[in-house]
Amino acid sequence: STKVNGHQVNGRTLIDTQNSSRALFWLFFATITLAILAVFNEVLVSWTSDKAFHPTTAEGAPSLAYFLKEHIFHELTPFIWGALGGCIYLSMRLYDIALNRAFDRTRFHGWVLRVLLASIIGAVTFYIINPDKVAPGISIEALAFLAGLGVKVVYGAFEKLIDTIVEKFNLDSLRRAPSDKAKVREYFALQLSDPKVANDPQKRDAIVSMMKELGVEA
C-alpha cells in the first residue's frame, strides 16, 4: 500500500473506488431528498406569503398549503437543514477520498447516525440559541445547516459550555461525590473481608462505627 495526499491506497481501495457510487447510493438519495424538501419548503413560504393566497378553503378549513407550512414544515425545517448539512459534509469528505482512490467500503459505516446527529444538533442549536443575539440576520435554515455541517465543533462547544457551568456553580464536587463514596465503601469492604479483622470483634466494630460516622453503608 501507499499514500496519496495523506490517504492510504491499496488494492482494496482501488477496487472499491470504482464501485463507490453504488456504495454511496443511499447517501446520495438522502441528500437529494432533503434538498427537495428544503426547496419545497421555500416554495411553500413564497407561495403562502403571496397577497393573492388565501389561508382557508371555501368551507373555512385551513388550506393544505397553509397546513403544511405552519404545522409541518415550520417544525421540521431545522431538522431538514441540519440533516442536509450532515449529508453535504459526508459527501464532500467521501468525494475527496474517492478522488484519491482511497475509498474503502468496509470503513463506510455509521453515516446514518452521522446524518441523524446532524439533524438533531441542527434543530437543538436553533431551539436553544437565539440567532438574533449570536448572529443577527442569520436564518433558521443557515444556523441549522451550519450546525449540521460542523457537528463535532458544535458538540464540542456544548461540552465546553457544560464544563463552564459546572465550574461556575461548583458542581464538579457533586459529580465526583458518588465515585469517592464508592471508593470508601470498597476500601472498608476490603478491610472487613480480611480474616484478621473479621475474627477480631474490636477491630470489626471500630470499622463499622467509622462507616456509620462517614455515612457509608456496609
Backbone angles phi, psi at 120, to 5 degrees: -70, -45
- Here the cell at position 114 is 452521522
**Do the beta carbons of residue 44 and residue 69 sit within 8 Å?**
yes
**Do the beta carbons of residue 30 and residue 90 sit within 8 Å?**
no
Please state which of the ranges 21-35, 38-52, 125-139, 140-154 shows the lowest mean pLDDT.
125-139
pLDDT band at 1 (very low <50, low <70, confident <90, very high): low
The identity of residue 215, as a single letter, is G
- Nearest CA to 132 out of 120, 122, 144, 140 is that of 140
Using the predicted structure, report yes or no on whether residue 52 has a pLDDT greater than 60: yes
Mean pLDDT of 88-108: 88
CA dist., res. 17 & res. 10, Å (int): 11
The DSSP secondary-structure symbol of 62 reads: B
pLDDT for 127-136, tens place per residue? 888 777 667 7
Report the share of the chain in percent with pLDDT over 90: 28
Both ends of the chain: CA-CA distance in Å?
A: 59
Backbone angles phi, psi at 4, to 5 degrees: -125, 115
3-state SS class at 3: strand
Report the share of the chain in percent with pLDDT over 70: 90
Evaluate if pTM is beyond 0.85.
no
pLDDT for 150-202, tens place per residue? 999 999 988 888 888 878 777 665 555 555 566 777 777 777 777 777 787 77
